[in-house]
Amino acid sequence: MTLPLLLVALPLALAAAAFAVPSERVRPWLVPAGGAAHLALTVAVLATPARPAAGAWLQLDAVGRLVLALVSVLFFLCALYTPGYLAQRASHSNRTFCACLLAFLSMASLIVASHHLGLMWVALEASTLTSAPLLYFNRNPRSLEATWKYLLIGSVGIALALLGTFFLAYAALKVGLAPSLLFEDLVRDAPRLSPPWLHAAFVVLFVGYGTKMGLAPMHTWKPDAYGEAPGLVGTLLAGAATNCAFLAIVRFFQICSAAGEADFARPLLVAMGLVSMVVAGVFMVRQRDYKRMLAYSSVEHMGILVLGLGLGGAAVFGAMLHLINNGLTKGTLFLSAGNIHRAFGSKSTDEVSGALRVVPASATLLLLGFLAATGSPPFGPFVSELTILVAALEAGRWGVAALFLLVLLVVFVGMGATVLAVVQGEPPARAAAGAPAAGTPGRESWQTVAPVAAFMVLVTVMGTWIPGPVRDLVIEAARLVELRP
């Protein structure tokens, strides 16, 4: 069995095992076991030189390796968080939750390894179906509404992506080529594809997979889904699922670039990136729900990714680097926000304040995560956002650079007001007098704090010293995206 296939099969087998295991106490430990095994396989993949295989449906190029590394690290740290989290939610059965977590990892691995665009579409749809039960874990009317909105809007996006995939196949058929959905075949034949059908395919695919990313104005599922999802599920959606959708967009951009149509695609990417950033900034001002605030932060950072891709040149390196930095930062933010939510029983700043006194470790990590997410030094997002900004200035895109900086300022002020309202001040009388004792549900423990701290350490490392293997991986991915025919 090849390594890419093993990356898909192993977590899927563990998902079946998790569903079959009868013990509520034993089952959660299959998740970190699966995360550790997947991370070990990922290290083996990254240590093995890439060998392109003609006609292979599953293989990992530089871009796939980059996304795979992020997904694997992200899932592993979330998996370490899972047993402690589920121990505090003992009243809820964790059978479906644990099985769907591992199944999601399997489908995310299939997405990044797929070099057949039809198979990639199937994997993206399967990832939506496996993550939907995770959103409904709290089993209340609001989580049910969020789950249905996630499924319905996601289904519209995936349907558009399927239509765009058909358009892409017809772009080959129109000029007499044998239609193929293998990525390497499409890149090879790209200069001969029908330009009108290729343009139509890219637009429809961009809208479809942009919906899965949560780009504005197709982002309307995000505030509800992220607001109602458990913190570790929000981390996986914001750091893994959206980046898998971004990978799909990168694949289709590579086809357009190979066809000599990059000048058609780039303005669309830049415009949508800026729109997403602006919309996110507007909704983050005076935001009282701190978990919904994180959803709009995700909309903003998805905009930064496609903006970097659209600007080209060094900005593509910045986008690939930001893919990692944003994913790790979201781990810090969502998990620490989840700890605070359980301690206070509310997501509104009207009822949550003084978190530094009630859950000091989680509140400190939320504050640091806020600084990282808003591009403050010395954290990773500062480096990647600065790279994109400098690339825009060097390309003479003064208007883009000015709007980029303005939105970052608005986001800093809006997000900062919400975070400071949560962490500072006096805790409400109910929280101060009735906060759970250490080791009881609602109070932070080492199991629910250590993984968050690990995310924060990685974010800081990425801002002060990018490890050589990571830098090489980002450079290889950026070069592959920018490769000209």
Q: What are 364-421's pLDDT values in tens digits?
A: 999 999 999 999 999 999 999 999 999 999 999 999 999 999 999 999 999 999 999 9
Contacting residues for 395 by C-beta, under 8 A, at least 6 apart? 311, 312, 313, 315
Confidence of residue 49 (pLDDT cuts 50, 70, 90): confident
Decide: 273 and 239 in contact? Cβ < 8 Å: no
Q: How many Å apart are CA 152 and CA 144, to the nearest integer?
A: 12
Residue 92 in tokens: 């809820």
Helix (H, G, I), strand (E, B) or coil at 426: coil
pLDDT (0 to 100) of residue 485 = 47
Q: Which residue has the tokens 């993984």?
A: 451
Q: What is the share, in percent, of the chain residues with pLDDT greater than 70?
A: 96
pLDDT (0 to 100) of residue 50 = 72
Helix (H, G, I), strand (E, B) or coil at 481: helix
- Say yes or no to pLDDT of 431 above 70: no
pLDDT, mean of residues 313-328: 96
pLDDT, mean of residues 337-342: 93
Domain count, the chain: 1
24: part of which helix (H) or strand (E)? none
Confidence of residue 1 (pLDDT cuts 50, 70, 90): low
- Dihedral (C-alpha) 158, 160, 161, 162: value to the nearest 10 degrees? 90
pLDDT, mean of residues 195-207: 95
- Say yes or no to pLDDT of 337 above 90: yes
- Say yes or no to pLDDT of 467 above 90: yes
Residue from 162, 188, 192, 187 nearest 177 by CA = 192
pLDDT (0 to 100) of residue 433 = 46
Contacting residues for 20 by C-beta, under 8 A, at least 6 apart? none
Q: Which residue has the tokens 């968050």?
A: 452
Whether the upstream peptide bond of residue 217 has omega within 30° of 0, thus cis, is yes
pLDDT, mean of residues 475-479: 94
pLDDT (0 to 100) of residue 430 = 61
pLDDT, mean of residues 335-360: 92
pLDDT (0 to 100) of residue 323 = 96
pLDDT (0 to 100) of residue 391 = 96
pLDDT (0 to 100) of residue 437 = 42
pLDDT, mean of residues 181-205: 94
- What single string gives the DSSP state of each residue in 326-361? HHHHHHHHHHHHHHHHHHHS--BTTT---HHHHSHH
Q: What are 128-171's pLDDT values in tens digits?
A: 999 999 999 988 899 999 999 999 999 999 999 999 999 999 99
pTM to 2 decimal places: 0.95
- Say yes or no to pLDDT of 441 above 90: no
Q: What is the share, in percent, of the chain residues with pLDDT greater than 90?
A: 84
Residue 421 in tokens: 């309202």
- Say yes or no to pLDDT of 308 above 90: yes
Q: What are 223-246's pLDDT values in tens digits?
A: 999 999 999 999 999 999 999 999
- Say yes or no to pLDDT of 177 above 90: no
pLDDT (0 to 100) of residue 394 = 95
pLDDT, mean of residues 269-291: 94
Q: What is the mean pLDDT of the chain?
A: 92
pLDDT (0 to 100) of residue 226 = 93
Helices H, strands E: what count in the chain? 21, 0
Confidence of residue 215 (pLDDT cuts 50, 70, 90): very high
Both ends of the chain: CA-CA distance in Å? Answer: 33
Q: Domain range for residue 474?
A: 3-482
pLDDT (0 to 100) of residue 484 = 55
- Say yes or no to pLDDT of 434 above 90: no
Confidence of residue 95 (pLDDT cuts 50, 70, 90): very high
Decide: 85 and 269 in contact? Cβ < 8 Å: no
Q: What are 398-413's pLDDT values in tens digits?
A: 999 999 999 999 999 9
